[in-house]
Structure 1
């Protein structure tokens, strides 16, 4: 009888090669109460100046409002989609609206950016 042992890394690599779409099939955010949060519980925002599924928040704006980045080749189901940013990187969008975090939110559940300059808004259940 022969015994085979594989490292965890080897098994994960094999799974990624065999099931490549599974690596990105999970939704990048979820609803917690009536607001959308990422998987760390941090609040997710939209920007009113974004139109047509295109992010208008670049450079200094993106430093304060980091885009919710999607890995290259990301796939999702439902209303989540990856969109291409001006710099060529990928960002998650929900129902065509690019998604962001706010640099001043330090703990899960904080919403310090909600209503900022009347153009930044928490993604809420009522918007879904």
Structure 2
């Protein structure tokens, strides 16, 4: 009887190790450290009464400036940036999808869509406003295409 119990105990210990994935009985492997959280896109596309447009995460309309032609720089600085605030990016921002990061003349980062710097407008007071659209001054609503 004692022999049967010893064999059963040995088999049980072997089975426990096998079911534990070979890590040893009862010892859990430590969890891997969590991956760094990747921020999502800084803007989204919506369809409103003016068709498909890009808006920031607060729903405010985004604009592009026709003088921004290099794809790597913003030409809207100083006074211009006061009325057309750039869509700022954190210092550690990385490109995601069609969104890239541009370093402004003052060293701050901003978001661009398909290499076109993105701006908001002081003329817009609530989500969905498009008062900053002024093609005669070379400001256009940012479109997701």
TM-score normalised by the shorter chain: which range applies?
0.7 to 0.9
Separation of aligned partners in 1, 2:80 and 2:132: 13
Partner of 2:91: 72
Shift of 1:67: 0.2
Q: Which runs of 5+ in 2 are unaligned?
A: 1-32
Higher relative contact order (CA 8 A, sep 6+): 1
Question: Is 1:19 the equivalent of 2:38?
Answer: no
CA contact (8 A) 1:21 1:75 kept: no
Partner of 1:88: 107
Question: Is 1:117 the equivalent of 2:133?
Answer: no
TM-score by length of 2: 0.70
Separation of aligned partners in 2, 1:123 and 1:105: 14
The alignment of Structure 1 onto Structure 2 pairs a total of residues equal to 108
Matched residue SS, 2:81:
helix
Matched residue SS, 2:127:
coil
Matched residue SS, 1:20:
coil
Structure of larger gyration radius: 2
